[in-house]
Chains A and B, each alone.
Chain A
Amino acid sequence: MAPSNGNSEQLVISGILARIDRQVRVNRVLDHLSIAVSLLLATLVSLKIIGMLVPIAAPSPLLIVGISTAAFLGFLGWSQYGAQHLGQAAAVADARGNLHDEIKSAYWFMHQEHRTMWTDAQVERAALTARGLQPKGLVPTVVPQRFWGALGLGAILMFLSWVPAGPPLLTFTRALADPTRLTADQEEQFEEIRSLMEQAQELEDEADQLSADAQQRLEEAMRQLAADELSMEELLRELREAQNALQEGNLDMAAMQEALEDLAQDLEGNTEFQDLAEAMQNQNLAEAAELMRQLAENLANMDSQQLQEMSELLQQAAQGDQQSMQELMEALQEAAEAMSDEQLADAQQAMQEAADAMEAMSQRMDAQEMMNQASQQMQAMQQSMSQQQLAQQMQQMMSSEQTGAESQQGAMAMPSDEVQKTAGSGESGDPSDQQGGPAGHATSEAIEDAEMTLGQATTLEVQLEMEVLIEDEDPLKPEEPPDPEDIFQEASRQETATVEYRSVRSPSRYAEGSALSVEQIPWRYRNLVKRYFLAIRPRENQ
């Protein structure tokens, strides 16, 4: 029984299987391709439809197509990597050709070291069969059904691309329910704040940095709010910090106003400076600058004595150490020195510079005024939001109290009028009805302050009072039944027992009888019966 060589048969079988395997792979690739295209088109159509309905920031279709193509090519490479699966091809050939596992068996026998006459005969038979096989007939190239679905999706996508783009048909209705959404008034306030800050930036370069910081912080907060990345508390905190940034310039402004008043007092002794001092006193620096320019033009008409007096006054006024208006002080000092030397041109030049400095200070004060107005708007916005937040908390609390009261009514059969009273007090928001309770915070004053002021805490004594148990004896409490053992002993003690002691059966004898009269279960069914009762026993968690 020496096995035959059979190499030619093996080659025939392997060759046919390789061709079948190729056909199988082609069909598989087509199938995978149709799946991938269907998924891609379905995604694009979905995004297109969603984009038409609601406002959404969808990724670019080109990006989606690019990523999908890369992923599909990667998958394709992975799935086609490795040796040919001729065993699977043999199974396919047997199944399609109704060959009763002939090729599959032959392929396996071919690769065995131990060969017999029977296996050689089988391989020989299989080779004969394989010669008659047509791989393309067995496994024809088939366009998958999904491909037609993909075509349909493509047509839908093309149709949708013809539809003119417009605003989304639906808007997010969650804005009403979302507690972090701004109301229309608040959005108006925000726009006003933004406008004020932009005006402040236009007015004064120095204010630019402060205002820009605050505005940048505010814009970022609004962006996060729109993206639902910010809670109400965080928004309030951002507003407070922006407000603080805006108010930083107020300190300089106060110092400047104080210095102006000192300067006005120094200058008001001279008739030439009377109007100027008055304008400074009134913080009207624009008018003061104008008066300073007029004064500079009139210098030529003044005599030496007047110039000397003015020089002394200016010299005195410029003595002050005012950091906030150093430029003005330097200009006044230069003007005083020029007047003292009767150099009118220099004095006029210095006074012009002083007027420019006053104009700059005026603009700075106006900018700060704008920022203060923005700050006030922020304050109002914070108050509005705090009020909104507190109102929502109160509403939640009242609804939870109402639910609790209803459940309590159901569980404890509380009288209905009492429950309604409890619920009604919650709705009215009267803090006096709820001592120290959270609903007591929602007073109108607290809303105006936009601060959470805690009520008086419930003391331990109050809780203890509520939990006091009255241990008065209940006169209607029934007496405990007497112990049967006592009755038995009593009858025995009184020697009134009528039953012979030998006739009294011990309780254990009943148990013995019960234990011995169990129903017999055949041994082979015991395990079944046990499993049956274990299966129908009540579960612990039920």
Chain B
Amino acid sequence: MTVAIEDQIDVFTEQFNRVREEIGKVIVGAEEIIDGTLISLLSKGHVLLEGIPGIGKTKIVATVADVLHLKFSRIQFTPDLMPGDVVGSNVVHETESGEKVLEFQKGPIHTNILLADEINRATPKTQSALLEAMQERTVTVGTTTHKLDPPFFVLATQNPLEMEGTYPLPEAQMDRFFYKLRIMYPEPEHMHEIMDRTTRREEPTASTVLDRGQILAMRDTARDVPIARPVQDYAIRLTLATHPDTPYAHPMINQYVRFGASPRGTQTLVIGGKVNALLNGRVHVACEDIRAMLLPALRHRMMMNFEGEAERIDPDDILREIMKDTPESVE
């Protein structure tokens, strides 16, 4: 019995590392982004990638899609993009008998991996078309609901600098992203490697190493990892610490935050912690796993107040303070 568990953990770790290595053939650095993306995929979540233009957001997503043997679609969000362009629409189709019927033409959302590039450039109406798909894994057109094939994984990108002509994502939609990952500018040594790889005749490519069935099995394995109540309590206390005017609230939260993270935030901490525990060869979730998930899981779930926005407070700084001041166990 224990041997079976150990085997599952070994298989999980080995497959995860293979994917990581394969992506690493194309993407230089950005290990945290790759790990976060894969953890989100294995946790049935979606990822919002944020970074300045030209640092490889789209390349990362495309490489992930290449490595995984899954259907991949890309939607370039623009202000004139309509919801029908995303989810699909009913079109008139003439049968062989000459009869005209309405037939559902699937949109690009009917895929396994969806790259929603520059998602904040589309209108809220189009952005909201993603809401049902991201949460329910279904798409409703007219009166018909279409189920999306698992795994359904949305990777959205947005540019934090250009705000002109953009529509910031509403809180409800932000909350639906499992992680918000920030892609930083590469280090100088990584820049050398990028130049070496991308300025030659042939660019490196990644081969497919994981298929759909393996991904679904890895997802199930991750969900089986148990978490003890004291550790779960730690995750809950961390989440509640982001809520202003509560007994658990951190002083910085009371000063700068208007709304804290939702229960989805705690779910993210726990599920992500389970994947992280497996990657570290553990059969239980530790407080360390919860902490590793804290920044990407909660940074987009806190709404700054006027003072926080005026002083340009980084949610990561607040979360680091919370992490520092929240004890692992309560006496």
B226→A101 contact, CB < 8 A = no
Contacts of A528 in B (CB 8 A): 258, 305-306, 309
Check: B282 CB closer than 8 A to any chain A CB. yes
Check: A497 CB closer than 8 A to any chain B CB. no
B2→A101 contact, CB < 8 A = no
Most buried by B among A88, A117, A120, A124: A117
Bound CA–CA A87/B230 (angstroms): 9
Check: B130 CB closer than 8 A to any chain A CB. no
Contacts of A531 in B (CB 8 A): 305-306
B306→A532 contact, CB < 8 A = yes
Residue of B225, B284, B306, B329 touching A102 (CB-CB under 8 A): B284
B283→A122 contact, CB < 8 A = yes
* Nearest CB in chain B: distance from A382 CB, A: 64
Residue of B224, B230, B305, B309 touching A101 (CB-CB under 8 A): B230
A-facing residues in B263-288 (Cβ within 8 Å): 280, 282-288
Known: A117-B5, A121-B1. Is A91-B283 also a contact (CB below 8 A)?
no
Bound CA–CA A88/B230 (angstroms): 11
B277, closest chain A residue (CB): A100
Known: A124-B2, A528-B305. Is A116-B286 also a contact (CB below 8 A)?
no
Most buried by B among A87, A95, A105: A105
Check: B195 CB closer than 8 A to any chain A CB. no
B230→A108 contact, CB < 8 A = yes
B306→A101 contact, CB < 8 A = no
Bound CA–CA A105/B229 (angstroms): 8
A-facing residues in B297-317 (Cβ within 8 Å): 305-306, 309
Check: B196 CB closer than 8 A to any chain A CB. no
**How many residues on A have C-beta within 8 angstroms of the other chain's C-beta atoms?**
28
Known: A91-B230, A108-B230, A118-B225. Is A101-B284 also a contact (CB below 8 A)?
yes
* Nearest CB in chain A: distance from B247 CB, A: 22
* Nearest CB in chain B: distance from A181 CB, A: 53
Known: A109-B228, A118-B225. Is A100-B286 also a contact (CB below 8 A)?
yes
Check: A155 CB closer than 8 A to any chain B CB. no
Contacts of B283 in A (CB 8 A): 118, 121-122, 125
A-facing residues in B1-22 (Cβ within 8 Å): 1-2, 4-6
Bound CA–CA A104/B284 (angstroms): 10
A100→B288 contact, CB < 8 A = yes
A104, closest chain B residue (CB): B230
Contacts of A106 in B (CB 8 A): 284
Known: A91-B328, A118-B226, A122-B283. Is A101-B231 also a contact (CB below 8 A)?
yes
Known: A102-B282, A108-B230; 14 extra A-B contacts, CB below 8 A, are: A88-B331, A91-B328, A101-B230, A101-B328, A104-B230, A104-B231, A105-B227, A109-B226, A109-B228, A118-B284, A119-B226, A121-B6, A122-B283, A531-B305
- B residues contacting A by CB (< 8 A) are 1-2, 4-6, 224-231, 258, 280, 282-288, 305-306, 309, 328-329, 331
